[in-house]
Structure 1
Amino acid sequence: MAETIAALKEDFSLIDEWEDRYRYVIELGRALEPLADADRNPRNKVQGCASQVWIAAHEERDGKEPRLAFTGDSDALIVKGLIAIIFRLFSGRTPSEILATDAGALLDELGLREHLTPQRSNGVASMVTRIKSDAKAALAQTLKSA
């Protein structure tokens, strides 16, 4: 995870202007893996976002604790880019790693939160809450099965 965070910080440090950083965030969103139509359902819709946002969690079992992979989409380009950044932090991690990650601190380090509207900041918080909720459920299921 440290490499992912370092890479994001490096990418953002190379871009001086915030307008250019927003373009970069949008590019990240455009590169997201498409969300399957079946995953565009009420269960995967993230509440608390002004834009339409869907996040689907998929478990990958390769050891004691599963790894969670996420797919998602939004109807807003900048939000889709924020989803891509959040997925870089959380996708492919175990539930324990996800629960231990402070996404807010990273967004502060990137300078993103200070440049987001309060509405978008709330939406990002809702997305992180949703991912952590999925991680808690996966961890509980793992402990129950053990």
Structure 2
Amino acid sequence: MTTDAFDEIAETFDFLDDWEDRYRHVIELGKAMPPLDEAFRVPGLKVEGCASQVWLLPRIEGRGPQARFDFQGESDAMIVRGLIAILHALYAGLSVAEVGRIDARAALERLGLTEHLSAQRSNGVRAMIERIRALAAEAAATA
């Protein structure tokens, strides 16, 4: 299960033959993302476990398991901003219950990201995914 936005990114990746072009595309996705206001770049929104600085601001619409999940993100590294944009495409607009059912690892493998990211970047992506899932689970538990 993936979103249309993520499927569009996957189709673009299929079209791009070499990793350098894909890498540039990830950076472009990050540049296209709206910046997170400085006021939200606070320790409580910072994702631990990332080599770069990463902040995720959840935006939940509604209550309980059917609430809609969205978030804004920011990083001090352009490639990480692009990875945040990819995760946004993967999760935004889903219900908080659906967020927990997404196989993010399989989705990212579909893009070929897992084999081209450094161990540090891979750990950072895992930390962002864990944070997204935790935020969604917390929202799903609120009635």
Please give the range of the TM-score, normalised by the shorter of the 2 chains. over 0.9
3-state SS, counterpart of residue 74 of structure 2: strand
SS, match of residue 108 in structure 1: helix
**Closer, same or farther: CA 9–39 of 1 in aligned 2, 3 Å:** same
Percent identity between matched residues is: 49
Q: How far apart, CA to CA, are the structure 2 residues paired with 1:80 and 1:132?
A: 19
Where does residue 77 of structure 1 map in the other structure?
A: 78
- d(CA) in 1 for partners of 2:125, 2:109: 12
Q: Structure 1 residue 13: deviation in Å?
A: 0.8
Contact 2:65-2:96 within 8 A present in 1 as well? no
Deviation for aligned residue 1:67 = 0.6
8 Å contact 2:50–2:123 — kept in the other structure?
Answer: yes
Match of 1:15 in 2: 16
Q: Which residue of structure 2 aligns with residue 35 of structure 1? A: 36
SS in 2 for 1:71: strand
Q: Match for residue 117 of structure 2?
A: 116
Structure 2 spans left out of the alignment, 5+ residues: none
CA-based RMSD = 1.5
Question: Could you tell which deviates more after superposition, 37-46 or 19-28?
Answer: 37-46
Deviations 1:41-95 (A, max 9, x none): 1111000000000001011129972111110100000011000000100111111
Deviates more, 1:7-16 or 1:46-55: 7-16
For residues 110 and 118 of structure 1, the distance between their equivalents in structure 2, rounded to whole angstroms, comes to: 17
Unaligned runs of 5+ in 1: none
Map of 1:140 onto structure 2: 141
Deviation at 1:34, TM superposition (A): 1.5
Give the equivalent residue in structure 2 for 1:53.
Answer: 54
Contact 2:46 2:56 (C-alpha < 8 Å) held by counterparts: yes
Structure 2 Cα separation of the partners of residues 77 and 7 of structure 1: 21
Contact 2:65 2:139 in 1 (8 A): no
Which protein, 1 or 2, shows the higher relative CO under an 8 Å CA cutoff with sep ≥ 6? Answer: 2
What SS is found at the alignment partner of 1:100?
Answer: coil
The equivalent of 1:65 in structure 2 is 66
- Over residues 66-125 of structure 1, what are the superposed CA-to-partner deviations in whole Å (9 max), with x where a residue is unaligned? 111110100000011000000100111111110000111011111111000010000000
- Matched residue of 2:13: which SS? helix
Normalised TM-score (structure 1) = 0.92
Tell me which moved more, 128-137 or 36-45. Answer: 36-45
TM-score, scaled to structure 2 = 0.94
